[in-house]
Each structure stands twice: as structure tokens, then as C-alpha cells.
Amino acid sequence: MDYFPIFLKLQGRPCVVVGGGDVALRKVRLLRQAGARVTVVAPELVAELAELADQGEIAHRAGEFAEADLDAAVLAIAATDDRDVNRRVAAAGEARRVPVNVVDDAELSGYITPAIVDRSPLVIAVSTGGGVPVLARLVRARLESLIPASFGALAGFAARFRDVVKARFDDVEARRTFWESVLEGPIADAVVAGNVEAAEAQMAQRLAEPDKPSGAVYLVGAGPGNPDLLTFRALRLMQQADVVLYDSLVAKELLELVRRDAERVFVGKQRANHTLPQEDINQLMVRLAKEGKRVLRLKGGDPFTFGRGGEEIEELAARGIAFEVVPGITSASGAAAYAGIPLTHRDYAQSVTFVTGHKKDGSIDLDWPALTRPQQTVVVYMGLSTARELCAAFIEHGKAADTPAAIVEAATTTRQRTLTGTLSTLPDAIDAAAIKSPAIIIVGEVVSLASRLAWYRGGNPGAGEGSKVQNGERGE
């Protein structure tokens, strides 16, 4: 180990930055974030540093560096483009036992400044010993994507309970086990989700009954199918879950991202074949959570957009089960974006309406006056089985037969197929191409843009007469 990693407490302590340019400005920002009292030594300052000096936020000694500038300093940074000046700063620091960093010059530096992931009070420093700063920044960028911004809140939350937990558990091993269960379980998830009040209540219960299982349910939107469209939060929960309840709209590629030793239970609904009634799904989630398990309810698209998420969390709330909802990219948004069909457009549609293809009783007795208004886009979920009746109903209720319409199968995946046509031609095209679920129907003038805006390259479909098939090719 070429450098000893250390975190210095600089609140209220004097630090000196030599140089008044943009590099010096970046270092001043870091020092101020750490609470240091900063003095900048330079003949001139860039605008932001000058403003800070005018406001009294930093001190400024105008002029060239003098060794006496470091007499009271506990830390110094040389940020000039003159190596002779930087060498003098380093030598002055060495003589006074003041650590000096010379920016981009490890040879002259008494310490180096790492790449920083700031989740205060959690701070992560990454260093390559000054040899390859770019690599340190790349590692930091990866850590930034892996570590939630709210981890700082989690660190602060845990620190508040440190003494209480220490008093509750005399044994070090018992304390460690307790903290692992807290920091990897529902309490931490509640803090990360911003629900600190719920986390505090759960923490009090855990301290009172440390051996009682503590489970939770996470309703997670898996998006339209492409794994790259998952949120970071969704991916983290998928890799932490003990049990996964998934439906038929969740792509197989997404299930591959679930923790390998997690139990997987298919609870999906397919056409004319409901594997589990909704009430049974609700009761299963409650039972598993009460057993202390982290239950992932993985849903295609977004849980609150025709995903019955509201019904499920009503039951969880009534039974006192901790839960969290993680939004996903809706199937409508994913299908439209990947088919090159803007859902709204100033020239074609000023509103968009989402609707299911049939009601709970199987009918298509929808609000047709609202759905046939001009200059709007209508997106139909679960309309494949009634596509012919739907298109006929649009026409019957006043929509022109040549209104552009499309269906997108397996949107955003490599199996995506997009058929475009009109209300009169789309049903036959669907039959001819043997389109299968999951599929989204889009009706409106915006569909006419697909031939020009389609960008995604999917599979190799076939088309029926009167339609166009697009797979990301521009045009037909």
C-alpha cells in the first residue's frame, strides 16, 4: 500500500489553496464542503472565487506565494500551473509538517486527493496512488450508479441508534447480526425510500422483539421488457429478494437478474387462464411477509398502470405489512418510444389516454365519446383479443376508418414487432402476422410518424396486407 488512506476532520480548521484558477476553484469547493476555513493565495481570482472572497466565505491574500502562508495551516493544496511555485509550496509544507497536495503531480505531493463518492456521512474514496486518476474517476462513476444517493440518510439513521443497539446487545456478534438484518432488510429499504418515520417505528419494534421475523413486500415495475430499462432501485431489490412473485408480462431476461437462490412463484394471468385469483395473490404476499421474507412482487410495466398495484397494497396496508412501490417505465411509454410513435405531438395530439381493452366483465363498453375526441392518442392495454371489436367500435363511434393505428408486440425486446395501418386494416394485419401477447395498441394521428421516426432494430416479423411492419428500419 503506497498511501495510507485517512479521512481528516477539517471543520473550522485553516487550509490554504495556492492558485486562483479553475483548478483551485474545484479544490476550494471540496474543502468548503468539509467545513474548512479556506485562504486562497493568488494574484488574481476567477469570478466565482472572487465572489466567495467578496462575500467573506473564503479569505484571499492577493500576491505571490510566501512560505509564511502555511504557518497556521493544517492542510495545503498547490493548484498553479507553475511547477517552481508548486515545488516551493511542497517544500514549505514539508518544513512545517503540513500535508501538501500538488494537483496532478504525485512526485511533489505529500498526500493525494482521491476520487470521491459523497453520500455524507458515508464517504467513499477511490485512489490509484496518483498514477492513473482517470481510472479512479471511472471506478467512482461505477460506484455512483451502484450506491443510492439516500445511503447517506441510511448511515445517519443507523448512527442515531448506535448507542441504543449497543446497550440492547452486550454480545458483539449479536450486535453485528442485528445490524446486518437492519441494513439489509425492510428498515433500510424504508429509509432509502425516504420513509424515515416508518423506519423508526420498525426499528423500535425490532429492538423490542429482535427475534421476531421482519418481512416486507416490494411492488416493483419491471418495465416493458428490456432489462436495460430497469431502474437502479428495481435491480437492487431484485437481487435482494427472498421470494419473487411474477406474472406473464415479465420477460425471461428480467428474471435472470433476480437473485439466483430466491424462490420464484408464477402468479400471472394469461388469456382465459388465471393461475391465481387476485385475492389469493394478496394473501400469499401477506403470509410470506409475516414469515419474515422479503417479497418481490414483480410486474410488467408499472405497478400502478393497469397492474392492480393499488389493490395489492390496500391489502398489505390493512394487514400492517411493510411495503414499497417502485415505479417502472409503462408499457405504453416503452412501446411508443421503441416504435417511433410520440404519444403527444404539437401538430397531432395534445393529450393521451390509457385504457384497457375490456372491462372486468369482459365487455368493451368503454367511454367512447371521450376516446374518439380529436387530437388525442389512445393507448389500449390488453386489447389483443378484442382488437377487431375495438377497431370497429372506434369507427362506429365516429372515428374515421383511415385513422392511423398500430400494434406493438413484445415492445423494447429483441422480439419486438410493430404493425402500422388504420382502424380498418389493423385487425386483418394482426391475424395475418399472428401477433401474440404482450401487445399494445396505439390509435391516433401520431402513428403516421412511425415510418419516419422508427429507430429500434428488433426481430424479423411478417405482415398482413394493408399494414407496415417496422423493426427500427427507417421506412418500410
Which positions are annotated as active-site residues?
Answer: 247, 269
Three-state SS for 72? coil
Query: Is 90:100 a contact under the CB 8 Å cutoff?
Result: yes
**Concatenated DSSP letters for 100-111?**
EEETT-TTT-SS
Q: Is 22 annotated for ligand binding?
A: yes
Q: Is 322 annotated for ligand binding?
A: no
Task: Give CA–CA dist 111/5, Å, rounded.
Answer: 10
Q: Is 458 annotated for ligand binding?
A: no
201: left (phi over 0), alpha (psi -120 to 50) or beta: alpha
Three-state SS for 90? helix
Q: Is 163 annotated for ligand binding?
A: no
Q: Is 258 annotated for ligand binding?
A: no
Query: Is 90:108 a contact under the CB 8 Å cutoff?
Result: yes
How do beta strands 122-126 and 75-78 pair?
unpaired
Task: Give CA–CA dist 429/435, Å, rounded.
Answer: 9
Helices (H) and strands (E) in the chain, counts: 18, 20
Q: Is 342 annotated for ligand binding?
A: no
- The string over 51-76, giving b where at least 16 C-beta atoms fall within 10 Å of a residue's C-beta and e elsewhere, is ebbeeeebebbeeebeeebbeebbbb
Q: Is 300 annotated for ligand binding?
A: yes
Q: Is 224 annotated for ligand binding?
A: yes
Query: Is 427:406 a contact under the CB 8 Å cutoff?
Result: no
Which amino acid would we find at residue 82? D
Which amino acid would we find at residue 13? R
Q: Is 382 annotated for ligand binding?
A: yes
Q: Is 352 annotated for ligand binding?
A: no
283: left (phi over 0), alpha (psi -120 to 50) or beta: alpha
- Half-sphere CA count of 456, side-chain side, radius 13 A: 23
**Helix then strand then coil, % of the chain, to nearest 5:** 35, 20, 45
Place of cell 471543520: 11
Let me know the angle formed at the C-alpha of 327 by 321 and 330, rounded to the nearest 5 degrees.
135
Query: Is 407:387 a contact under the CB 8 Å cutoff?
Result: yes
Neighbours of 216 (CB within 10 A): 25
How do beta strands 417-422 and 404-409 pair?
antiparallel
Query: Is 102:42 a contact under the CB 8 Å cutoff?
Result: no
Binding region for NAD(+): 22-23, 43-44
Binding region for S-adenosyl-L-methionine: 224, 300-302, 382, 411
Binding region: 22-23, 43-44, 224, 300-302, 382, 411
